[in-house]
Structure 1
Amino acid sequence: MSTDTDGEIIRLARDNPAVFGELYDRHAAGLYRYAARRAGEFAADDIIADTFLVAWERLESYDHDHDDARPWLFGIATNLLRRHHRTEARMLKAAAKAGLRDSVADESDRVAAQTDALVATGLIAVALKSMPVIDRDTLLLYAWGDLTYEGIAAAMNVPIGTVRSRLNRARRTLRSALDAVQLADKGEQAWTK
């Protein structure tokens, strides 16, 4: 049985719980990718299971004016991911350490490119870690959750203007980190000439 909208699935699931599986089939993969990027693969399965459990328990609260349940589901997942914030912070800290370590001197372009990528990744991880949680959540819902501004607003239960300002702050933070990489790269090029 295939229904056209998520809203219809949720409406039908009240009387026929088996229909709820269709919602899972539609959105579990995207939610899993988002959760795995945020908390690691080891936590993603639990986050997805808990997301759909919470969604099932809250069927009655779903706003049927929305045909797309992704913002609702990503909002639930984001709230659950906050529980895993310490794990995420440890992952970002480890990525930052790995990316900022000095590399062994080597003349090959491949090693230089890998080193540059590690430094950039480390600086981005540091930038993500330094962001307020609400800005990081907003940015990652946009970048990894692939939600629109409207979807993020619905997921986080905030006005769209708040989403815009949070994304603007997060982008400025990332831009500063990337500018630091470019300045360091220019300094290295000038030094080697």
Structure 2
Amino acid sequence: MDDQQRHFAAVFDATYADLVRFAARRVPRHQAEDVAADAFTVAWRRHTDLPTEPDQARAWLFGITRRLLLARHSHGQHLPTVALVTDPPVPGHEDTVVAATDLAAAFNRLTPAHQDALALTVWDGLTGAQAATVLGITPLAYRLRLSRARTALRAQLLPAATTRPRISPPQGSRP
């Protein structure tokens, strides 16, 4: 195995699961694995473009994966909304469940650009420069987009916080 093949294998090992999780937030799990495999197929074909620095290689692969997902979407395939609440509610944690549900609903009302900006940083753990690479924009443009996304998310959450009925403790209990 030559150096390029070793580098590609190391990037694959370090990045595959992250790409599947990234895609699984946008398509069903079985399709997410296909998208990640397609991203690595593209990367193999363009192996001379694969950055040598691991974090840059990771961001480059996220960019390929994002473009593949956008291509699927443009061909009429529906990209699902995000569901943040997956575990059954725990008794006594109703406020947490309501807050997580409000957060998921607010996130789903954001524009796709704002969703991407938040997800790349929060869920995928990319730095601003890496997220900018994924989106094909400058780091400054990404910071601006992230700031606007955070503001938009806050604005979406404020109405829910002010109009949601408060969950009362059971009768006879003290707060």
| TM-score, length of structure 2 as denominator length | 0.73
Question: What percentage of residue pairs aligned between the two structures are identical?
Answer: 32
Change (3 A) 1:63 1:24: closer
1:72 to 60, 63, 84: 60
Give CA deviations for 1:131-155 in whole Å, capped at 9, x if unaligned.
2322222221112211010111122
Q: Which position in structure 1 is the counterpart of 2:129?
A: 150
8 Å contact from structure 2 (residues 114, 146) kept in 1: yes
Change (3 A) 1:18 1:35: same
1:167-186 equivalences under 5 Å are 167-185=146-164
1:76-95 equivalences under 5 Å are 76-85=64-73, 86-89=77-80, 91-92=81-82
Code of the residue aligned with 2:127 in structure 1: it is T
Change (3 A) 1:137 1:84: farther
Q: Distance in 1 between matches of 2:163 and 2:96?
A: 10
Code of the residue aligned with 2:13 in structure 1: it is D
8 Å contact from structure 2 (residues 121, 128) kept in 1: yes
CA shift for structure 1 position 57: 1.3
8 Å contact from structure 2 (residues 51, 60) kept in 1: no
Does the residue aligned with 2:26 lie in a helix, a strand or coil? helix
8 Å contact from structure 1 (residues 123, 178) kept in 2: yes
8 Å contact from structure 1 (residues 39, 84) kept in 2: no
CA shift for structure 1 position 178: 2.8
Q: Which position in structure 2 is the counterpart of 1:36?
A: 24
Q: Distance in 1 between matches of 2:58 and 2:121?
A: 12
Does the residue aligned with 1:88 lie in a helix, a strand or coil? coil
For structure 2, the residue ranges without an aligned partner over 5 or more in a row are: 171-175
CA shift for structure 1 position 78: 1.3
Q: Which position in structure 2 is the counterpart of 1:54?
A: 42
Code of the residue aligned with 1:128 in structure 2: it is F
Size of the alignment, in residue pairs? 163
* 1:188 corresponds to 2:166: yes
Give CA deviations for 1:17-69 in whole Å, capped at 9, x if unaligned.
465323211111122222222323122111110110111111223355x4531
Q: Distance in 2 between matches of 1:87 and 1:23?
A: 29
